[in-house]
Amino acid sequence: METIKNKLIMRNLLFITVSFLLLSCIAGNAKTVNDGNLDPAVDMLKEFYAEYISLNLCDEVDDASLLNLKEKYLTPSLLMKLRSSVVDFDPFVDAQDFSQRWLTEIDIAKIDSLDNLYTVMLPDNKDCIIVKVICKEGGKYLIDNISYNRDNSLVSCVQDSSINTYLGTWVISEEQPFPYIAIRKDSSAYVVVESDQIMINTKLVPDTSAPNNSYQILLVAPAEELGIGGQRLDWSHLSTTHPVGHIQFLSNNTARYTWLGFYNTITKQRVWQDSQFTRETGDKTINLIKVP
């Protein structure tokens, strides 16, 4: 009788032990699912950036491998826009040089309030990279656009093809040829800030935070023919990411232009906020027309 009783006790203990192990396994699996990343778009971005950064850290960058990677993760429209876009930095990392730290310290997250937009933060980069992701048929996620948070404004990395509509020379009036802005087909613009004194090469970047057909004007470099006023400016510390002005095209032949001045990255202040445009009209925002 005692033997049967001991067997029953052992059987019950075995049942309890097995049940406990099963419950622990189920709980562990549930925790793995909940703690893991459930957003496939984030996974896609992590895969892309890991491969992209690794390729660019090589002593000799394999252009063919980079192209294959872009064709795998980018939409055809973004790929085509990037091919025709002229920028002096890598659009995916918003920098000219790559860092080994980025492989382990990159931070990618979804913007909760906006559909299909994700933030990419890299160490030492002050501006946040905004990536637009779309889902194609079959559940495949692709990168559709890259933008940057510049002074709380969302600036796209690619030029808008509609800029071709506004190519030409823009002035205050036909009777007044100076100052002027000459817009070129590569989204660059030659801006006369002060006749015979300060002339600059700039690029026009779509300003998605402003009304339609609005562009930020970013400094690229001073033109060679600087006068005394231009020679006195500390060009090495003038920002190429803070806009020097804004322009909104109201039609193919009319526009509204605002000059802001140069932003000094050391003093954190703008210099030369008064330009020939503003002095000629007495207004901060000026109406421009395109001349033949």
Helix (H) or strand (E) holding 21: helix 2-35
Amino acid at 131: V
Q: Tell me the two tokens of residue 216.
A: 């930020």
- Tell me the three state secondary structure of residue 20: helix
Return the pLDDT at 234. Answer: 94
Residue 161: partners with Cβ closer than 8 Å, 6 or more residues away: 81
Least confident span in 40-49, 140-149, 205-214: 205-214
Q: What is the mean pLDDT of residues 146-169?
A: 70
Q: What is the mean pLDDT of residues 261-288?
A: 94
Least confident span in 33-37, 69-73, 115-119: 33-37
Nearest to 131 by CA among 140, 142, 123, 122: 142
CA distances from 31 to 24, 27, 160 (A): 10, 6, 46
- Tell me the three state secondary structure of residue 235: helix
Please check the confidence at residue 44 and state whether its pLDDT lies above 70: yes
- HSE, CB side, 13 Å, CA atoms: give it for residue 234: 11
Nearest to 193 by CA among 172, 174, 177, 179: 179
**What is the per-residue pLDDT across 163-180, written as a single tens digit (0 to 9) for each?**
778 999 999 999 999 999
Return the pLDDT at 25. Answer: 35
Return the pLDDT at 225. Answer: 77
Q: Are 259 and 180 in contact (CB under 8 A)?
A: no
**What is the per-residue pLDDT across 18-43, written as a single tens digit (0 to 9) for each?**
344 333 333 333 332 233 457 899 99
CATH number of 40-156: 3.10.450.50
How far apart are alpha carbons 177 and 195 in whole angstroms?
10
Confidence label for 56 from pLDDT (cuts 50, 70 and 90):
very high
Confidence label for 258 from pLDDT (cuts 50, 70 and 90):
very high
Domain boundaries, the chain: 40-156, 161-291
Amino acid at 68: N
**What is the per-residue pLDDT across 198-226, written as a single tens digit (0 to 9) for each?**
999 998 988 867 777 889 999 989 987 78
Please check the confidence at residue 182 and state whether its pLDDT lies above 50: yes
- HSE, CB side, 13 Å, CA atoms: give it for residue 249: 23
Give this prediction's pTM: 0.50
Mean pLDDT value across the chain: 82
How far apart are alpha carbons 210 and 144 in whole angstroms?
21
Q: Tell me the two tokens of residue 14.
A: 């075995």
Q: What is the mean pLDDT of residues 147-168?
A: 68
Confidence label for 77 from pLDDT (cuts 50, 70 and 90):
confident
Residue listed under structure tokens 């656009």:
145
Amino acid at 227: G
